[in-house]
Amino acid sequence: MKGIQMKRRSLIKAIGGGVASLAVPLPSLAASKQIVVSDPGGPYTTAYRKAFYDPFEKATGVKVVSVAREAQPVAQFTAMVETKNYIWDVTTLTLSADIPVLEERNLLEPLGLKAEEFPGLMPEAVTPNWLGVDVYSTVLAYRTDKHAKNPPGSWADFWDVERFPGQRSLRRNPLDTLEQALMADGVPIDKLYPLDVDRAFRSLDKIRKHVAVWWTGGAQSMQLIQSGEVDMLSLWNGRAQAAIDGKAPVRIVWNQGLYSIEGWGVPRGTPRAEEAKAFVRFCGDPRQQALFTDGLAYGPTNLKAYEHIDPARAKLLPTAPENLKSMRLPDPQWWKENRQAVTERFNAWIIG
């Protein structure tokens, strides 16, 4: 048994040390055979399998079974903990939308994570009970065949229909959209919070009749810009990059982008908590994070990962220094306290 343990520890160090600090003996992990990890599916599953799932299996002997989760996981997460019916042991959660709610309800398994354990990790990407592993950003994107000589570079430009004519689209959701409206009205990105909601809606009133489509899903937003149905829009950078990779004449504007951090949380009480904690820690390693960027145009949270990413690819990712410096993270606490009321007002405004 001791020989097996030493062999596995050597393998861990060889693939980057991501679980070298685990407090659990690796043979005891392997004895449990598997954990179930949920993610958004599609390209996420492929990228995470390469970066996290298969390497963790190889290092520990613990099989990782992946399943696609619901778009909004909080209700399902809550039901699992309350009923103790654990259909998965780890899931992706977003810092702004999910973590404040789950922490307030005490639904997250304590992981005991500390920032100093992960040199190079963005400070916002770790809490005691959650580890962020990737970053996506809501950005402005435009068609270069429509705006080649006079490209938009800010949300004020997006709102300026005289200087920048064309079809527009925004997300049918107050998160990010209110911030964009305020920046269009002159609020600096570092002075957004607390959001002046009345001012945001006055700004939205100015652009409303010029918004051709209020999109509701990532695939829809990509299709809108890829097909040329709209000339500029707000969308997630990964969707914009997919359109670019598909040879559409599209360009991303990182200025005034709003980034979100996705990462791993564990439902409180899962009987496989020990293995789940080991997996989460493993995913903080910069070499592992670098691997998912090959197929997923999202940024690693451990900025040391850029030492292992091709410079040409790095320029396309949200957490590359040149891109990150002009963006910010929406305030999770503000949205936790105001999301329901603001969403009700936004939905009434949309249909009104």
pLDDT digits (tens, 9 = 90+) for 37-58: 999 888 899 999 999 999 999 9
Flag the least confident range among 26-30, 91-95, 262-266.
26-30
Count: domains in the chain = 2
Residues 91 and 33 in one domain: yes
Residues 161 and 64 in one domain: no
How far is 347 from 339, CA to CA, in rounded Å?
12
CATH code, 91: 3.40.190.10
Which structural domain range is residue 282 located in?
2-135+261-321
Contact 320, 241 (CB under 8 A): no
Residues 220 and 118 in one domain: no
How far is 202 from 345, CA to CA, in rounded Å?
13
Residues 124 and 146 in one domain: no
**Residue 42, number of CB atoms within 10 A of its CB:** 12
Angstrom distances, CA of residue 272 to CA of 35, 89, 118, 250, 290 = 7, 7, 23, 45, 27
Residue 156 tokens read as: 């004020």
Angstrom distances, CA of residue 150 to CA of 164, 180, 186, 230, 309 = 8, 20, 20, 16, 32
- Per-residue model confidence (pLDDT) at position 178: 98
State pLDDT tens for residues 157-211: 999 999 999 999 999 999 999 999 999 999 999 999 999 999 999 999 999 999 9
- Per-residue model confidence (pLDDT) at position 17: 42
Residues 79 and 107 in one domain: yes
> For residue 71, what pLDDT band results from cuts at 50, 70 and 90?
confident
pLDDT at 25 over 90: no
How far is 213 from 196, CA to CA, in rounded Å?
25
State pLDDT tens for residues 234-277: 999 999 999 999 999 999 999 999 999 999 999 999 999 999 99
Nearest to residue 92, comparing CAs of 277, 276, 262? Answer: 262
- Three-class SS state of 315: coil
Reported as half-sphere exposure (CB side, CA atoms, 13 A), residue 141 has a value of 30
Residues 314 and 225 in one domain: no
Residues 204 and 314 in one domain: no
Specify the pTM.
0.86
- Per-residue model confidence (pLDDT) at position 302: 97
Residues 270 and 128 in one domain: yes
Residues 235 and 336 in one domain: yes
Residues 173 and 27 in one domain: no
Give the list of residues 6+ apart from residue 218 with CB closer than 8 angstroms, or none: 235, 236, 238, 239
Residues 241 and 143 in one domain: yes
- Per-residue model confidence (pLDDT) at position 32: 55
